[in-house]
Structure 1
Amino acid sequence: METNMDLMRIIQGKFARLSKGQKLIAEYILKHYDKAAFMTAAKLGISVGVSESTVVRFANQLGYEGYPELQKALQELIKNKLTTAQRIELASDYVEPNNALRGVLKSDIENIRATMEKISYSDFEGTVNSILKAKKIYIVGLRSSAALADFLGFYLNLILDNVKVVSYGISDIFEQVLNISEGDCVIGIGFPRYAVRTVETLNFAKSRGADVIAITDSLLSPLAAKADYALIAESNMASFVDSLVAPLSVINALIVAVGLKEKEKISKTFNELEHIWEDYQIYSYKKGTDVNKF
């Protein structure tokens, strides 16, 4: 499947050659692909009145190894198009209301597992090297991705001294990135539905000759399209909430990798910070205090 939009055309093109049961599945998906994307093979079979094995054979008939691959293609097709209200409506098909904790944790575990399998280790190393050699590092992540951008910026600022987190504020986004130039590194973080300003910032950075890094969910993402290095982290949604667990894990790894390259510098920085934290009582206990008392 070259693109996920091809899926609907493939179903239509193969419809005449499908069995009676498979045609029922095809008709349901063509009409209700947004709901089918979050159904198990068994639940989809029940919805159309066929067996689970018929659903699996239908996926094979379309060229997929199994139903999970077909389901993934359906999710990719819709995840950037669903409104928040539509996500809430579909939540009951994806997460059991009385067992949301287990459902969401299982989903996040799967996101991390899939990320480990799909992420490019060469792009990861390229990202680390780009950060270390950059004259200035800009980090842009808006809306729900703002938390990730702030987290990455907070720790990189402790390791390096040339980091700027770009965010909504008094000044416009482009006023904050006006001086981007060759030799700089711009890290864009974005997941469906992608913030337009993040994409535009990466386009601007690319036009200025800066290294562009994308932390996003797919190589088909508009952020990845302009990136020199793309770190792909699964973010399959659990209801109306974007899953940012796998992206945060990738960011953690990025911080650690940069820190290990600057081990001597960060050791000195954190030794100085420990004294400052103790002198100004930044935390609720002093260095050497038995924390079990609190």
Structure 2
Amino acid sequence: MNDTPGARLQALFEGHRLTPTQRRIAHWMVRRAADVPFLSSVELAELAGVSQPSVTRFAVALGFDGYPALRRHLREVAPVEPARPAPGAAPSGGAEANAYQQAVHAEIENLRHLAELLADPAPAERAGRLLAASRPLPVLGLRAAAAQARGFAYFAAKVHPDVRVLDEGGSMLTDRIDTAVRAGASALLCFALPRHPREVVDALEYARAAGLTVVTVADSAFAPVARHSDLLLPAAVGTALAFDTACGPMLLGRVLLEAMCDGLPDAQARLEEFDAGAAARGLFVE
């Protein structure tokens, strides 16, 4: 069982119906799990980009008398001091980081958080088994997430016998899900990144109704796709630049590839066969 501060926070939020604003607060609390017990309600509100009363209402929604009671509870289960500098901060004694460096520092923090979540490998291992067993394996990703879906599918096709990329929306999307189900698919992998297209939510709802087990890589455990996923693995995106950065979701996709390979007995043989063919064709410049 993962017992990191972030995991304990997620367990605290489970079972509560949260509003979009409250999900945003929860998301930022998980991202800054080591710091949250030491933040005031005003500081947390600024971090999450919400109002201070929203933070108070959030604490009450979780069953506490107010934010001070929530913070006292968090201090009982958290380290006695913040674990590390805030994302974007310059190294101790150094000059203040510029905007580009801050974006990199924020992504490093996202990857640290992902590493903490992967301390419990069971969810990734379960996802790997589900993906390996699905023949064919549909991989869904629209708009901002299309690149993640295509990247995963490119490598997955080297070890999985039938990978189908669903990277275009429209009326054909449900048709392609139906085709995959008729061909024997048992699971669907979805990459869901902000801003979340309504089509993705609708497609996941449709896929589950069609009998598919939905495995989702999303930017947050509280993303809109969460309630339409059987297994959701979160990996935060960076928001420091004009366009989001997705190092965490990309790395988590590679982790799922590794876990899927563990569930495919002939994965290594397929890779060796590909390497031999590539060498014979002179496919790559060494």
TM tier relative to shorter chain: 0.5 to 0.7
Q: Which residue of 2 aligns with 1:165?
A: 165
Separation of aligned partners in 2, 1:200 and 1:60: 35
Structure 1 unaligned runs (5+)?
Answer: 9-24, 40-58, 70-93, 286-294
The change in CA–CA distance for 1:61 and 1:197 in structure 2 (over 3 A counts) is same
1:61 and 2:68 matched: yes
Separation of aligned partners in 2, 1:152 and 1:183: 17
Separation of aligned partners in 2, 1:146 and 1:118: 24
The change in CA–CA distance for 1:179 and 1:95 in structure 2 (over 3 A counts) is farther
Compute the displacement of 1:170 (Å): 9.5
Q: Which has the higher helix share?
A: 1
Whichever residue aligns with residue 228 of structure 2, its letter is K
* Residue-by-residue CA offset, 1:172-197 (whole Å, 9 max, x unaligned): 32232222437521111112211222
Q: Give matches, 1:141-290, under 5 Å.
A: 141-168=141-168, 172-181=172-181, 183-262=185-264, 265-285=266-286
RMSD after superposition:
3.4
The change in CA–CA distance for 1:154 and 1:7 in structure 2 (over 3 A counts) is closer
Separation of aligned partners in 2, 1:95 and 1:200: 39
Q: Is the 8 A contact 2:137 2:189 kept in 1?
A: yes
What SS does the corresponding residue of 1:139 show, helix, strand or coil?
Answer: strand
Q: Is the 8 A contact 1:95 1:238 kept in 2?
A: no
* Residue-by-residue CA offset, 1:2-30 (whole Å, 9 max, x unaligned): 5463599xxxxxxxxxxxxxxxx85x99x
Structure 2 unaligned runs (5+)?
Answer: 1-12, 25-40, 50-65, 79-87, 91-95
Separation of aligned partners in 2, 1:170 and 1:226: 19
Whichever residue aligns with residue 193 of structure 1, its letter is R
Q: Which residue of 2 aligns with 1:106?
A: 105
The change in CA–CA distance for 1:235 and 1:169 in structure 2 (over 3 A counts) is closer
Q: Percent of counterpart pairs with the same letter? A: 18
What SS does the corresponding residue of 1:161 show, helix, strand or coil?
Answer: coil
Whichever residue aligns with residue 281 of structure 1, its letter is G
What SS does the corresponding residue of 1:238 show, helix, strand or coil?
Answer: coil
* Residue-by-residue CA offset, 1:264-294 (whole Å, 9 max, x unaligned): x233223322232223322123xxxxxxxxx
1:123 and 2:129 matched: no
Separation of aligned partners in 1, 2:112 and 2:169: 36
What SS does the corresponding residue of 1:206 show, helix, strand or coil?
Answer: helix
Whichever residue aligns with residue 146 of structure 1, its letter is A
Instruction: Give the TM-score normalised by the residue count of structure 2.
Output: 0.65
**What is the number of residues matched between the two proteins?**
218
Compute the displacement of 1:60 (Å): 6.6
Q: Is the 8 A contact 1:95 1:104 kept in 2?
A: no
Whichever residue aligns with residue 209 of structure 1, its letter is G
The change in CA–CA distance for 1:237 and 1:62 in structure 2 (over 3 A counts) is farther
Q: Is the 8 A contact 2:128 2:262 kept in 1?
A: no
What SS does the corresponding residue of 2:157 show, helix, strand or coil?
Answer: helix
Which shifted more, 269-278 or 250-259?
269-278
Q: Is the 8 A contact 1:188 1:223 kept in 2?
A: no
Higher relative contact order at CA 8 Å, sep ≥6: structure 1 or structure 2?
2
Separation of aligned partners in 1, 2:229 and 2:255: 19
Compute the displacement of 1:61 (Å): 3.1
Separation of aligned partners in 2, 1:143 and 1:195: 8
Separation of aligned partners in 2, 1:235 and 1:259: 26
